[in-house]
Amino acid sequence: MTRYIVRRLLTAIPTLVAISMVIFTILALAPGDPLAEFAVNPSVPPEVRQRIRKSMGLDDPIPVRYTKWFTSIIRGDFGYSFRSRSPVSDLMMQRLPTTLYVIGTAYLIAVLLAIPIGVISAVRQYSVFDTVATTLAFIGFSLPTFFTGLLFILLFSVKLGWFPMIYRATIDEPGLRGLWLKIEQAIMPITVLALFQTAALTRYTRASMLETIHQDYVRTARAKGLSELTVISRHALRNALIPVVTIIALSIPGIFTGAVITEQIFRVPGMGSLLISAINDNDTPVIMAITIIFSALVVLFNLIADVLYGVLDPRIKYE
């Protein structure tokens, strides 16, 4: 196993280099203009806009730009944002705590809710609980976050006035009041995201649980008189977890890149809004930094998932 992990970690490096090349090329070829807003502004003539494009290196050949980026990245330098001239690492550090707090909490809640709901739904298939859970899950999944987010704002900010609709990462009030302000403003975005995540995860848990509880070894475990709880938690659940682990491992890196739409609706200054505005601005250093860290996390968590498969099902071998 250790050899397998080491080998995987070593192959991760060329993988990441290849990924970075592909992403860089896509970014370089994708159309767009950082100064589009000034397009028809007579005080900013087209020549000026073209000169600024050039000064950002947007007109250099792609291999030249890539080499520049690559040589600084191996020195651990993410470079400077074209737009704000801040070091990219500063920008990311400003966003990271908020992202981890809001998006991370939402994912955690989703996992904590989805697994028990999915399991109960499967064990009591077609019961009232299952039907309600299924319906709710599909409402959660059919309604995009732009919709639920807005619904929450209308209900809880406009009608009831319970929560603020604008998220502020700069709250520096001390004590309990500050803490409450920080929690209060995060409730809506966390709920919206958690709802969406829970919906999907519940379905996977339920389906794979259904698959396993009809397996013969589960029947055997029951037959030999083990309590239902033991059967479910010790025998069935463990085997049912493989798809669930896959889905969770796939979505954990997403915590880092944030949730673009939800962040936009509630004005949460997370990584998602940084990424999306960088994309809109052709701010290549920022996009590259975020996506490459994201890819590294993807590679890492897929490795973790592979290792976990082995733990969950000892028959799985990696040569």
22 binds other proteins (CB under 8 A): yes
H or E segment and range at residue 251: helix 237-257
- Cα–Cα distance, 186 to 144 (Å, whole number): 19
Cα 127 → chain centroid: 33
Other residues' Cβ atoms within 10 Å of the Cβ of residue 29: 8
What's the min distance (Å) between Cβ of 145 and other proteins? 10
Residue 80 β-bridge partners: 87
227 binds other proteins (CB under 8 A): no
91 binds other proteins (CB under 8 A): yes
What's the min distance (Å) between Cβ of 105 and other proteins? 20
53 binds other proteins (CB under 8 A): yes
> Cα-flanking dihedrals φ and ψ of residue 208, to 5°?
-80, -25
Among 217, 230, 233, 234, interactor with other proteins by CB under 8 A? 217
3 binds other proteins (CB under 8 A): no
Residue 87 β-bridge partners: 80
- Do 204 and 113 form a contact (C-beta atoms < 8 A)? no
- Cα–Cα distance, 153 to 145 (Å, whole number): 12
> Cα-flanking dihedrals φ and ψ of residue 80, to 5°?
-110, 145
- Do 267 and 167 form a contact (C-beta atoms < 8 A)? yes
**Complex with other proteins: residue 36 or 183, whichever CB lies closer:** 36
> Cα-flanking dihedrals φ and ψ of residue 255, to 5°?
-60, -40
Taking the chain, what is the end-to-end CA distance rounded to the nearest angstrom?
9
Interface map 155-194 toward other proteins (x if CB under 8 A): --xx--x--xxx-xxx--x---------------------
- Do 5 and 303 form a contact (C-beta atoms < 8 A)? yes
How does DSSP classify residue 60?
A: S
Among 5, 23, 304, 307, interactor with other proteins by CB under 8 A? 23
What's the min distance (Å) between Cβ of 232 and other proteins? 16
- Do 294 and 272 form a contact (C-beta atoms < 8 A)? no
- The dihedral through the CA atoms of 242, 122, 212, 313 has a sign that is positive
Q: Of 119-158, which residues contact other proteins (CB under 8 A)?
A: 126, 134-135, 138-139, 141-144, 146-147, 150-151, 153-154, 157-158
What's the min distance (Å) between Cβ of 223 and other proteins? 8
**Complex with other proteins: residue 193 or 287, whichever CB lies closer:** 287
Q: Of 275-304, which residues contact other proteins (CB under 8 A)?
A: 275-277, 279-282, 287, 291, 294-295, 298-299, 302
Name the one range near other proteins by CB under 8 A: 62-70, 71-79, 101-109, 213-221. Answer: 213-221
Please give the size of the binding site for other proteins, defined by CB under 8 A.
118
**Complex with other proteins: residue 1 or 250, whichever CB lies closer:** 250
What's the min distance (Å) between Cβ of 283 and other proteins? 9
Interface map 234-273 toward other proteins (x if CB under 8 A): --------xx-xxx--x--x----------xx-x-x---x
Q: Of 101-120, which residues contact other proteins (CB under 8 A)?
A: none
